[in-house]
Structure 1
Amino acid sequence: MIKEITADATWPLRQEVMWPDKDMDYIRLPDDSNGRHYGYYVDHQLISVISLFEQSDSIQFRKFATANPHQGKGYGTQLLQHVLDSLVGTGHCRIWCNARIDKALFYEKFGLKKTATRFEKDGVSYVVMEKLL
């Protein structure tokens, strides 16, 4: 089941999957209170999260994480597809993310394309990926 959740509900899973060696303050975003957050539940357990942030006519998704035991089973795919489907007809013209380089192929399955913008943060390489809606 996919449903909208609070920002603080996303934090433990974000930390566990993305930055297990960092404290909770590291994974909180300053604009979390302005975002829309979605979770995928299996047997009442939150196993995947994604956060959306509106920026004029575009949407950025951030902190997309699926619990390690549930990766590769299609839950993250269903969650991201749900988000993409929900944006149809909203007037937004672009969805984008800062993708870890090693995850870029996953996002390409949804029609996101790599841009020329690349950067590194805390030893992790990223590429900005986008899809025009």
Structure 2
Amino acid sequence: MEIEKVRKEQAWQLRHEVMWPERDLSYVQLADDEKGVHYGLVDEGTLISVVSLFIDGEDAQFRKFATRRSDQGKGYGSRLLRYMLEEAYQAGVKRIFCNARSNKVSFYEKFGLTVTELQFTKGGKDYVVMERFFTAEP
């Protein structure tokens, strides 16, 4: 298995399959996908997990983190997330955040992210903004 940069179109396919299969493909496409770096965990040519990183100065947001349903719980997403956090740190990011589904908060806490007071609902799902400040290497 390798972690590599993938095209936004590849990310869209996995996002759609995992996150919003009942919606149109356009629902998982972000207006600023061109500005992001899309990382994928690839096994023998198959995209297993994907996450998109958007850096804005010393702040960054990661979005649309998805792992194939059949491969969840095997540590693949964790491996990709650790890699992406290291890439953000190496790029000079001081604060990273995400819009986490409320039922995934404990997963992100394992990576040093903490819950903020910001919450919202989108598409019938509840989200909370989580963030991490880099004070040392991830």
TM-score, normalised via structure 2 length: 0.93
Q: Which residue of 2 aligns with 1:53?
A: 54
Percent identical across equivalent pairs? 49
SS of the aligned residue for 1:88 comes to helix
Using the alignment, how far apart are the partners of 1:26 and 1:85 within structure 2? 29
Q: Which residue of 2 aligns with 1:40?
A: 41
Superposed, 1:1-133 pairs within 5 Å as 1-133=2-134
> In the TM superposition, what is the alpha-carbon distance from 1:54 to its structure 2 partner?
1.3
RMSD over aligned CA atoms reads 0.9
Equivalent residue pairs, number: 133
For structure 1, which segment, 95-104 or 79-88, has the greater mean C-alpha deviation from structure 2 after superposition?
79-88
Using the alignment, how far apart are the partners of 2:101 and 2:79 within structure 1? 19
AA of the residue aligned to 1:101: S
Using the alignment, how far apart are the partners of 2:77 and 2:51 within structure 1? 9
Q: Could you list the runs of 5+ residues in structure 2 that have no partner in the other structure?
A: none
Q: Could you list the runs of 5+ residues in structure 1 that have no partner in the other structure?
A: none
